[in-house]
Amino acid sequence: MERQEVSLKKEDGVALLRIERPKRLNALSRDIVKQIGELLEEIEVDEETRVLLIHSEKHFAAGADIQDMAECNEQEAAEFVFSPVFDRIEALPIPTVAAIEGYALGGGLELALACDIRFAAETAKMGFPEINLGIMPGAGGTVRAPKLIGASAAMELIFSGGTISAQRAWELGLVNRLEPEASLFEAAWEFAARLSKKAPLALRMAKKTIQEGLAMDSEIAAVHNESKNWASLFRTEDQKEGMRAFLEKRSPVYQGK
């Protein structure tokens, strides 16, 4: 493997993952995605990490590395796909936040879509340019974008291969929050740090319950599942602490137990 082009720093319960390949606008090479996968192994077992924040300087990621893919045959393309790693990001039990500045294109946008929440700089640009290369999104874009913004809006983006402004992405619901470019990282970090202070077991249960509910065909079954998961939180010390703290008019201190 080449030199490390992905960094991971942990502070105050937030793990900050960054792609560091500025000369290629943080385009995602095979090695970079492999490195992300290796760092995920660490995050997956780290009880102290309460939130994952993904942010890269200047550009989130200008897509999969076209040089890496250009000569792939079908078998090699099947091995190139990023979905196994992106699916693990989606499956993390903790909240995940993407902070997008500059370009988030193709596989870069798909990386952001694998996160739970997206912040974007007002100057960010997003899109699925794959069609312009004779392919289509292949790392979750055709699945996650329609779920988020509806099939027709996703088809418009994917069929046209055009790039949209952050404002348009916000109007479509592709991103949750728009921030001035200068304060994007600070705002996303502050949000992630705030989540890291919330009751960790309740956060994990909320994420799990939302994901389970989305995967269920029956709304009744999903609501029943929610009731069961909700009640299970009453086994935790955090529930006692949260409610006692309210009644005692003080801030709760959660142990994740």
Is residue 130 annotated as a catalytic residue, yes or no? yes
Q: How far is the CB of 101 from ligand CAA (least distance, A)?
A: 13
Residue window 91-110: x/- pattern of binding to ligand CAA, with contact defined by CB under 6 A: ------------x-xxx--x
At 90, list the tokens: 């989606």
Residue window 133-172: x/- pattern of binding to ligand CAA, with contact defined by CB under 6 A: x---xxx---------------------------------
Residues 100 and 126: beta-carbon distance below 8 Å = yes
Measured from the CB atom, the residue of 27 and 188 that comes closer to ligand CAA is 27
Q: How far is the CB of 158 from ligand CAA (least distance, A)?
A: 10
Residues 110 and 144: beta-carbon distance below 8 Å = yes
Q: What are phi and psi of 8, to 5 degrees?
A: -135, 125
Which residue of 15, 39, 43, 62 would you call a contact of ligand CAA, by CB under 6 A? 62
Judged by DSSP in three states, 252 sits in coil
Burial state string for 64-83 with b = 16 or more CB within 10 A and e = fewer than 16: bbeebbeeeeeeeeeebebb
Q: How far is the CB of 140 from ligand CAA (least distance, A)?
A: 8
Is residue 219 annotated as a catalytic residue, yes or no? no
How far is it, in rounded angstroms, from Cα 54 to Cα 169? 18
At 120, list the tokens: 């974007």
Which residues are catalytic, by number? 110, 130
Q: Which residues would be at the binding site for ligand CAA (CB under 6 A)?
A: 24-25, 27, 62-67, 82, 103, 105-107, 110, 129-130, 133, 137-139
